[in-house]
Amino acid sequence: MGILAEASYIISVRNPSLDVPGFPDAKPNYPKRLEEKFADKRWLDVDDGKLLDYENAQLLLIGAHDDLSEESISITGKAALFKTLGLKKREWPTEALEGGTLTEPEMQPEAKKPEGDRSKGANVG
């Protein structure tokens, strides 16, 4: 799939209540609280990690560019990762991250570049 081991991505989830030709018919069984977040949007940025906890959730990953200086954009502040993913910090150990002693992954995914012109050949729905 060409997903790098380390990269920055924007993650969105498709609104399961909208029927779109070409997308799978299987839909996640979101509780009402999560369904209401979509309102009339086709895609929703993942601001609640619970959106990813349901089978058949359809995701969109957009790779973020490594160097944003050309775009005159700067990112500041600390990421609220635990809050974004809906996790309780006290339940997840952080010693390895804070101490800088991370383990090496056993397998490295092979990075692949898309072939051909990505702007052509897609079905418009």
At 20-50, the pLDDT tens digits run 788 888 899 999 999 998 888 888 888 888 8
**Global pTM value:** 0.48
Single-letter code of the amino acid located at 7: A
Question: Residues of the chain with pLDDT > 70: what percent?
Answer: 55
Burial 55-78 (b: 16+ CB within 10 A, else e): eebbeeeeeeeeeeeeeeeeeeee
- Give me the residues paired with residue 49 across strands: none
Higher pLDDT, 102 or 15: 15
- Give me the residues paired with residue 61 across strands: 11
